Amino acid sequence: MQMDVKKFDTMAREIFAPAYPLIAAQAVARTGIREGVCLDIGCGGGYLGLELVRTTGLFVKFLDQSREMLDIVRGNIASRGLEDRTDILSGSAESIPLPDSAVNLAVSRGSMFFWDRVTAFREIERVLAPGGMSYIGGGFGSAEVKAEIDRKMEGRSHDGPPWREWVAKRLGPEAPGEFEKELRSAGIEDFEIDRSEDKGLWIIIRKPE
C-alpha cells in the first residue's frame, strides 16, 4: 500500500495526539504489564510506544516496514533522549524479526487493518514471552477524543469512503466476529476482544505461562 508518510505523520501528531496517552494507559491497565520488553507493531511515528516509554519501565522496540517512518521514529527518539530505552526494527507484523518469547507486551494502534491478520496473529503469539499479552486494535481512548478526531477528520479530503464510514467498518459491532474467526484460524486459544464505543476495539492475546 502506498502511503504519504509526511501526511500520515502530520495527522498522527496534530489530530490523533490526544489519543495516545489514553491508549497507553488503557493498555497498561488492561494487561498489568509495566516492565520488560514492549513491541510497537506498525508503529508509524512511534507515538504510542513513546508514551509507554514515558510512563512505564518498558523497553520499547519500534517495528515498521516503512524506512521513512522509521526515520521519523529515530528523530522522535533522539529529540526525547530515549536511545537507551528503545530499539528500531525494520519488518512487518507478518514476519517479526525477533526470536520466540522475546516480548512481554505487544501493542499496535490502527495498523492491524492492513495486515494479513491470521499470519500476523501467529507471529505475535510466537514472539510473546510466557505470561506476555497483546493490546492491539484501533480506537481513540475516549468518547470526547473520538468526537474531536471525527470532527477534524471529516474536514479533511482523503481517498476512500467518508471517515465515519471507514471507522464504522473497522470498529463497528460486526468487527469482533470477524477478528474472532481470524484468531481461531491462527490457532490462538487464549484471547479476548474488547469493544466499546468509547475506547474502540482491542484484542488481548495471552501467552500461557
Take residue 21 and report the three cell numbers written for it: 496517552
Q: Measured at the alpha carbon of residue 123, what is the angle toward residues 117 and 127, in degrees to the nearest 5?
A: 145
Q: What phi and psi, each to the nearest 5 degrees, are found at residue 108?
A: -170, 135
Confidence at residue 160, expressed as pLDDT on a 0 to 100 scale? 60
145 in Cβ contact with 22 (< 8 Å): yes
Confidence at residue 1, expressed as pLDDT on a 0 to 100 scale? 47
* Position 164 pLDDT exceeds 80: no
What is the mean predicted confidence (pLDDT) over 80-103?
Answer: 98
Structure confidence at residue 3 as a pLDDT band (50, 70, 90): low
Confidence at residue 169, expressed as pLDDT on a 0 to 100 scale? 80
Q: Which residues pair with 177 in a beta bridge?
A: none
193 in Cβ contact with 201 (< 8 Å): yes
52 compared with 170, residue with greater pLDDT:
52
Q: Which residues constitute the domain of residue 176?
A: 5-205
Q: Please state, in angstroms and rounded to a whole number, the distance separating the CA atoms of residues 69 and 43.
A: 8
How many domains in the chain? 1
Domain of 80: which CATH number?
3.40.50.150
pLDDT, tens digit, for every residue of 184-205?
999 999 999 999 988 999 999 9
pLDDT, tens digit, for every residue of 102-146?
999 999 999 999 999 999 999 999 999 999 999 999 999 999 999
Q: Which residues pair with 95 in a beta bridge?
A: 92
Q: Please state, in angstroms and rounded to a whole number, the distance separating the CA atoms of residues 107 and 43.
A: 9
